[in-house]
Structure formats: C-alpha cells, structure tokens
Amino acid sequence: MIFGFNGNTRMNKLAGALVLAIVASSAHAAIQVGGGATLPAVGYVGTVTHRLNASPDANSLLGAYKSVTGTPASYCQTGSGAGKNVLAGVTSVQGQCADSPSPTDFGAANALVNRTTLTQPNFAGSDSPLSTTDYTNYTGHRGTSRPLQFPAVAGGIAIVYRNDNLSTQLSLTSAQVCSIFNGTTTKWSQLGVAAPVAGDTIKVVYRADGSGTSFGFSNFLSANCSGTPAAHFKTDQAFSSAVSLYSLPGASWNGQSGNANVVNTIVNSADDGYIGYAEAANALAVAGNIALVNGKDPAADLGDATTHKVTINSADVVYNNAITGVDANTGRPTFGPISGAPTTSCIALVKPNAYATPAAGYPIVAVSYLLGSSEGNGADAANVRKLLGAPYNSSIVSATGTIGAGTGLAFLTAPITQTQIDGCVIN
C-alpha cells in the first residue's frame, strides 16, 4: 500500500535535490532525526506523501524550526507506539522508514537523512503518553539516560465518513459516536440518514497500529459513553484493546496503520459506507468528509475561539508520572509516580481527564507530546533543546501555518518553559 495522499511522484522528482540540500545544510547543522505519531504529522512537516519527510514545508513546525535556528529536521511516521520503541532503543533509529509495511525505524540510514552513525533519535512524537512499560523499556536499553516528555500540540480527532447519498454534512451526537464504535449502531439508517450507495451497513475503519490517536479517541469514549463494569470502552493506544469488552473489532471492521491510511481507505475505496476516526488535519488534506459532533467541527471549533490554542493549566500537569493502566470498572486511564524517576520536571503528563470532556469547542481532542533523551545527545544536545522547546518558542510558533486556526491542530497554553527543557537535556 502506498502511504499518503499523492503517491511518490513528488519525492521521485525532488530526491536528488533534497539530498544535495541536506548535505549542504549538514555542513553547519546536522539534521535532527525524529518520528512517531501520525496525528500531528501534517502540522510538523506539512505535505504528507510518504512516511518519511526529510524536508518539511517552510510553514510547518519543523520548517519554521529550521528557518529560526538554521537546523533541519526529518520525521518518520511510525505511529506513537513504534515511535516510543525507537526512542527507547527497543528498535533501531536506522533503516529506511519505508512506506510499507509500517516502519519501525526513523530512517536515519535513508539517503535523504544520511545519519548512519546515529544510535538514538534526537526526538520522537507521541499522542499516547509514556506508560510504566514504556519507561521500563527505555531504562532497560538506555542505561543512565532518562526519557523526556513535554506536551506539544493538541489535535481534533475527526469522525471521517463516506456516504455518497448524503448531500449535507453528517451531524452526530456523542451518544451516536459511542453507539457506532461499540457496535450497537450498525446501519446508517439508525443514524437517521440515507443509506449509502453500497448498502446500509456501517463499515468501521480503525487504527490497527499502536496509536496515540486511538489513545485520545478511546479517552473520549471511556469518559463520555455509558457502559457497565463488564462492557465499556478502555483507554488504550491499541484500539483493539479499547473495544475488546464489546467483542470487537468485528470481522467486517477494517484496521489500518497510520491516520493517512485510515482516511485513504474511507475516501478512496471502490465503494462507500465507511466511517472511522483520524486526526482532522489528515482528513482536510484530502477533502475527506468530516462529521460535526455535538454541532462542533474538529478544525473550526478546536481550541479557544480567539487564540486558537488549547489551554492546559498547571493543575492539569503532573511530573514524573506515567500511565499505569485503566480502571477495571470504567476503562478510565490510571497514572502514578514512576519508581526511580529523577525528581525533576522533565516527564510532564497531562492528566487525561483534562481533555476528555472539554468545557467548550469540539469534544474529541488528543494531546500530542515531544519526547527526547536526557543523555547521549552528544553534539546534537543544543539542537535537541531547541527542538523540544519549539512549540513554546514565539518566533517558531508565529512562523508556523500548519498549526492553528482551521487546521485541526492547535498549540497549547501550558506551563512549559525553554529554561525547564534546557535543564532536562544534560548532554
């Protein structure tokens, strides 16, 4: 399967030029190698045609980072779970970041990146915060180094659909979203709308990989959908686990790796009748049909109506905590202090309850993090500090056009400072 929206024409034409440009820039600043979450990828790199983008658009976050700091960066879309594994050293940062099958590396060996001696990534993106298992994986492979984690952006998780007999935008309530994804509503007619051309059956598309989008979506579902101790949604980065108590996913459900492939399946299949969830920016990139939820749009109504930012208060953030699992009766995520973690403010966890039921605006929201390593950064340490702080650098934020009003992504108003980040990147 070709990942992305426009095939490989653009990359084929530009490959040689990109190699020359990156080699030239590397003479004064080594390209910073990262990857992971697909939810913020459009915001981080702009145009998404392949898993690997080694030359982000100038108005993207990483493009603005380059213009302000002079340092280029690459990003490989592996999904949040795989991204955390690369950060931890469970899997290698090297490799090609191939479009198919789903990559488990960040493409450092790819000619477009050409950092073949790199032993750890400079940064990673994840929409599912560190769990206690993630922390143990990291410390087991990285020795004295510790993972760093800071909230970076928020994303609206869109309900994407295709029903060729609908001439108006699909409008759903939270209860209807719950009933579609717990298997209670299986027909379009149950939603009070016309059946698709291909028939009345709702064909659900979900993320099959470890996904922070799934974590954010299931965080909404477990907080807003009624259930019982025996049957409820569970907040998890694996959507198959999130719906397991409903004996789902069913045989007719369609699992895909990456937000772009979810949207492509819904929009570009031979027939219609599909519905799924994906980051709003990915759906907007291909003009996918996006449903209103409780009368709100995931792009137009994300964040504050004036600042277009999502507010994360100091009370919403805890440090040196990790996700420990879920409550057995409700499926709500649990978290607690990390045993053996340094007493520093370097692992910031936004409490999942803080964005599970927003007081205003679009109701289905994910928080995405930038992660790094406290040690082992070598000559890249200064650049890593600046990159992890990019979402809070006013010069970089003001130069970023792929995050903000109408994009489906929003910067955060959160209690994170560059001074704090600088002290966390030791070497």
d(CA 213, CA 306): 26
Write down the pLDDT at residue 252: 83
Helix (H) or strand (E) holding 256: strand 254-256
- In single-letter form, the type of residue at position 334 comes to T
- In single-letter form, the type of residue at position 291 comes to A
Question: Greatest CA separation found in the chain?
Answer: 61
d(CA 129, CA 120): 19
Please state the domain extents for the chain: 9-155+374-424
d(CA 58, CA 64): 6
Write down the pLDDT at residue 18: 40
Residue 97, phi-psi category: left (phi > 0), alpha (psi -120 to 50), beta (remainder): left
d(CA 297, CA 280): 9
Q: Around 300, how many Cα atoms within 13 Å sit in the side-chain half-sphere?
A: 7
Entry pTM: 0.86
pLDDT tens, residue by residue, 413-424: 999 999 999 999
Give 74-120 as a DSSP string: EEEE--HHHHHHHHHTSS-S-S---SSS--SS--TTSTTT--TT--S
Q: What stretches of 273-346 adopt beta strand conformation (E)?
A: 274-279, 289-290, 292-293, 310-311, 317-319, 321-326, 333-337
Q: Which residues does the chain have with pLDDT short of 50?
A: 1-27
Write down the pLDDT at residue 75: 97
d(CA 225, CA 178): 6
**Nearest alpha carbon to residue 395 among 370, 425, 369, 418:** 418
DSSP, collapsed to helix, strand or coil, labels residue 354 as helix
